[in-house]
Amino acid sequence: MEQADRNEEFDIERLRRQVSEIRTISEDESSEGRRPSESVELNPFAKRVAAQFREEKFSPSIMTGMIRLIDFLALFAIGQLINVYYVQDIGLAAFYMIILSSGSALAVLFLQVSDCYQIPMLRTPRRALLRILGAWLGAFAVMALALFFFKTSQTYSRVWFAAWLAIGCIYFIAERYLLAWGLRHWLRNGVLERRAVIVCGGKPAQDLIRSLESQPDNDIRILGVFDDRLDRRSPDLIAGYPKLGTVSELVEFVRAARVDMLIISLPMTAEKRILDLLRKLWVLPVDIRIAAHASKLKFRPRAYSHVGRMAMLDVFDKPITDWDSVAKRAFDLFFATMALLTLWPIMLGAALAVKLTSKGPVFFVQKRHGFNNEIINVFKFRSMYTDKQDLTAAKAVTKGDPRVTPVGRFLRKSSIDELPQLFNVLRGDLSLVGPRPHAVLAQSHNRIYADVVEGYFARHRVKPGVTGWAQINGWRGEIDSDDKIKFRTAYDLYYIENWSLWFDLKILFLTPIRLLNTENAY
């Protein structure tokens, strides 16, 4: 048995090493033999399904985080109200504040350790109530012991302490039943669901779907099945769900709908086919899992996660999700606002210079690739003569380009022309830091970038940025060789894989320094 465990673990690690190598596959290893840029048209039925799931939804992780915050604030407020209306001792206000804040935090910690913030527990308050009240009583026991050992038991009001305990219990009972009602409503209406697509059909997909649907606490909504096989092994209807198209169409489907997870329903022995699928799918901003429900291997706990009670091998995770995305958005709003308040005189001067020196609008609006390949309108100060503008960027700006105005040449060299993109950040189209958004038809030697670099669209798994890791490392300006776009993409993918707020802060503060090097900016 020990030898079998070692073999199983070796196979898993080998698969993961092969998966990690997918990011560095060269162009001539394309699994389909077609150009990466060639898009596949979705069939009408898949388009209708995708249109139903275009709307954003609420993340369960953010929801449970908000519930933690609400619990802390509610317990603190309950204790403070009792203090104000019963104790009325201004001299001990600081002492009560310390007890209230530490006690409320301790209660939330005990509830977290007791798994009381898991969605299944929140949906079934009757089952979780004893655990919740036990966590609240446990927090009180710790507080009482602390007050006793610090010899402060004569200082505070016992009536206040008991009332806080009792009203806190009433609060938890009422809150959890109200939350359960709300969660059932939100899950029924798709507000809190996780949307999944099954990759590969047949009997394994049928077993997977039935296993998921048999779980009473399941929050997965299956949108459909995608499979390349068209024979009887993969019928058009699998466990009540339609086959929406091929795996190549799945890429377009995920870009048209808000999908959270792709679940590959293949046995672990189908290693080559799994890797072929991952070569196509890893560029998408979704979690990719391999269902282990049909495998006879007994994986070690660290090898897999769970969807409900079902084991899944984690292959790729969607980058910058849940609270990370909230933190990044707050970072963007704060620093973009500070930048606008600081740089508005420069922006006003640039706008006047553009308007007074050449005919046409102050701003140039260009369509570029945004998050998940969506087309966004990016603002810049106009740097070209109006009648010579290139909206598609099919022809890159070169040194001494006659299309660029004298003022535009200075704006481009100093990167002042990019400052209006701060408004894109406030709108949510861009982030301050991220892979730079390229024009839809930007080219290198008459080949669009996706034809030069396989996996190019993986840089769109996160929101594009005003500045980025590639730019501060010298990969900015004209792309006049294939190597330049390859290196830029490599730096962008490194940023995505290693993202943190500190990394963003580092890039943001290095940007003005690196802009002093204007060698490639014209």
DSSP track, 373-384 = G-EEEEEEE--B
Domain boundary (282, 317, 352) is at 317
Beta bridge partners of 511: none
What burial class does residue 118 get, using C-beta atoms within 10 Å of its C-beta: 0-12 exposed, 13-18 middle, 19+ buried? middle
The residues near 352 (Cβ < 8 Å, ≥ 6 apart) are: none
Same domain flag for 45 and 66:
no
Report the C-alpha gap between 383 and 181 in whole angstroms. 56
Same domain flag for 427 and 288:
no
Cα distances (angstroms) measured from residue 299 to each of 10, 210, 289: 11, 22, 15
Residue 192 CA from chain centroid, whole number: 15
| CATH number for position 288 | 3.40.50.20
Rounded to 5°, the CA angle 97-101-106 comes to: 145
Same domain flag for 327 and 364:
yes
Beta bridge partners of 243: 225
Asked if residue 16 is part of any domain, the answer here is yes
Domain boundary (164, 188, 212) is at 188
Report the C-alpha gap between 18 and 23 in whole angstroms. 10
Same domain flag for 258 and 402:
no
Report the C-alpha gap between 81 and 160 in whole angstroms. 10
Beta bridge partners of 97: none
User: Can you give the pLDDT of all 522 residues of the chain as single tens digits?
Assistant: 444 344 444 355 555 555 565 555 444 443 344 444 456 778 888 888 888 888 777 777 888 888 999 999 999 999 888 887 776 665 556 777 888 888 899 999 999 998 888 887 888 888 888 999 999 999 888 888 877 776 555 566 778 788 888 999 999 999 999 998 888 887 777 677 788 999 987 788 888 888 888 876 677 888 989 988 776 667 778 888 888 888 888 888 988 888 889 998 877 667 778 888 888 888 889 988 888 765 554 555 555 677 767 778 888 888 988 888 889 999 999 999 999 999 999 999 999 999 888 888 889 888 888 898 888 999 999 888 877 776 666 666 667 678 888 888 888 888 888 999 999 999 999 999 999 988 877 766 667 777 777 778 888 899 999 999 988 888 776 666 777 788 888 889 999 989 999 999 999 999 888 776 656 554
Report the C-alpha gap between 136 and 140 in whole angstroms. 6
Give yes or no for a contact between 182 and 66, defined as CB atoms under 8 angstroms apart.
Answer: no
Q: Are strands 287-291 and 305-307 parallel, antiparallel or unpaired?
A: unpaired
Rounded to 5°, the CA angle 308-113-303 comes to: 45
pLDDT at 3: 41
> Taking the CB of residue 266, how many other CB atoms lie within 10 A of it?
18
DSSP string of 417-481? Answer: GGTTHHHHHHHTS-EEESSPPPBTT-EETTEEHHHHSTTGGGGGGS--EEE-HHHHTT--S---S
- Backbone phi and psi for residue 326, each to the nearest 5 degrees, phi listed first: -65, -45
Give yes or no for a contact between 466 and 435, defined as CB atoms under 8 angstroms apart.
Answer: no
pLDDT at 444: 66
Helix (H, G, I), strand (E, B) or coil at 383: coil
Same domain flag for 312 and 277:
yes
Q: CA-based Rg of the chain, rounded to a whole angstrom? A: 28
Give yes or no for a contact between 322 and 61, defined as CB atoms under 8 angstroms apart.
Answer: yes
Report the C-alpha gap between 172 and 259 in whole angstroms. 34
Residue 154 is encoded by which pair of tokens?
Answer: 């004569």
Report the C-alpha gap between 249 and 226 in whole angstroms. 8
What burial class does residue 283 get, using C-beta atoms within 10 Å of its C-beta: 0-12 exposed, 13-18 middle, 19+ buried? buried
Report the C-alpha gap between 280 and 228 in whole angstroms. 13
Residue 156, amino acid: Y
pLDDT at 28: 41
Cα distances (angstroms) measured from residue 487 to each of 7, 28, 310: 38, 18, 40
Same domain flag for 142 and 237:
no
Residue 36 is encoded by which pair of tokens?
Answer: 């990466």
* Placement of tokens 């609420």 in the chain: 58
Same domain flag for 309 and 336:
no
Domain boundary (317, 347, 365) is at 317
- Give Dmax (Cα) for the chain: 85
Asked if residue 469 is part of any domain, the answer here is yes
Residue 386 is encoded by which pair of tokens?
Answer: 């109006």
Asked if residue 482 is part of any domain, the answer here is yes
pTM for this entry: 0.79
Same domain flag for 166 and 269:
no
Same domain flag for 43 and 91:
no
Q: For helices 247-256 and 44-52, what crossing angle results, to 10°?
A: 40
Give yes or no for a contact between 382 and 364, defined as CB atoms under 8 angstroms apart.
Answer: yes
What is the total count of domains within the chain? Answer: 3
Asked if residue 522 is part of any domain, the answer here is no
pLDDT at 155: 62
Same domain flag for 212 and 231:
yes
Q: Which of 257, 252, 258 is nearest to 283 (CA)?
A: 252
Q: Which of 104, 229, 226, 235 is nearest to 171 (CA)?
A: 104
Within 22-118, residue ranges assigned H as helices are 44-52, 60-82, 93-113
Q: What is the DSSP letter of 361?
A: -
| Four-residue CA torsion sign, 316, 322, 327, 329 | positive
Give yes or no for a contact between 168 and 111, defined as CB atoms under 8 angstroms apart.
Answer: no
CB environment 324-359: b (16+ within 10 A), e (fewer): ebeebeebbeebbeebeeeeeeebeebbebbeeebe
The sheet that has 220-226: what strands, in order across it?
237-238, 241-245, 220-226, 194-199, 261-264, 287-291, 310-316, 305-307
Give yes or no for a contact between 135 and 112, defined as CB atoms under 8 angstroms apart.
Answer: no
- Domain enclosing residue 457, as ranges: 323-514
Asked if residue 520 is part of any domain, the answer here is no
Report the C-alpha gap between 359 and 378 in whole angstroms. 21
Same domain flag for 300 and 359:
no
Same domain flag for 353 and 428:
yes
Report the C-alpha gap between 173 and 169 in whole angstroms. 6
Asked if residue 519 is part of any domain, the answer here is no
